[in-house]
Amino acid sequence: MSFVLLLTASISPYPSDDTRGRINPKDRERDYFKATKYYLSKGFKVVFVDNSNTKSDMIVALGNEYGNLEYLHFETKRSYLGKSHGEVEIMQYAVENSVLLSKVDYLIKITGRYLIKNISEVLLPTNQMREELYINPTRNLRWADSRLMMMRKSYYFNYFIPTAEKFLDESKKVYMENAFIKSMFFFLLDGGELHLWPAYPAYDAYDGTFNEKVSFGFLKRVKYNLYYKFKKFAFKHRA
């Protein structure tokens, strides 16, 4: 069975006073198209969810070309609170409305503009989400990378959503990444086990906040893979 990937999207993002980011709808649509095509070409099933109620003909056409694409779109009611609220809203909408996601017991969420070059290395060792959660916490344990989120639905409903609803507050600089790692702490307190990503994602995308290119060439991949192997060793041998 192929993995189902949830790609979160906002082709025409909610208006903001911050003009530094990647805000041009055409640029964003091309980013989403490139990433969606990549994952479909690799044989993954893709649930593409846009919260700006935009239907992209070029992305819809990928479903006709490759199959295995479910395109959902709706008008956000939460993005005025910030990007984090908007993305959590997308995840919830996907869980409640996606046919493909209803057939699996896990969530693999990728920020929709991000193409992960080594996606098979990251996903295949998970054996169809054997564990409740795979996460990449930072060294100071203040936040966790949310560009890729891998969890069972049981974790999503029991830990992630309740934590996000209680703590997410961008006015107080508590973002999705902060809420995500808080949910992990509650999970560990309940006897859960920490499992890091099987491999570090080789991202290829434009950062949405600063419109800067994020790319992993050969040397950068070697550097990050070595660091990540050490990090996994350190977390595993924490006594």
pLDDT of residue 18: 55
205-225 burial, b at 16+ Cβ within 10 Å, e below that, comes to bbbbeeeeeeebeeeeeeebb
- pTM score, two decimals? 0.92
Mean pLDDT in consecutive groups of 10 residues from the start of the chain, 239 residues: 90 73 91 97 97 97 96 96 95 98 97 94 88 92 96 98 97 96 97 93 87 82 81 70
Quote the CA–CA distance of 111 and 204 in Å, as a whole number.
11
Task: Supply the pLDDT for residue 226.
Answer: 83
Nearest 10 degrees: CA dihedral of 51, 118, 121, 164?
-30
In the chain, the number of structural domains is: 1
Q: Which domain holds residue 77?
A: 4-236
User: Which CATH number covers residue 61?
Assistant: 3.90.550
Angle of helix 25-41 relative to helix 57-66, nearest 10 degrees, comes to 10
Residue 188 CB neighbour total at 10 angstroms: 13
The per-residue pLDDT for 139 is 78
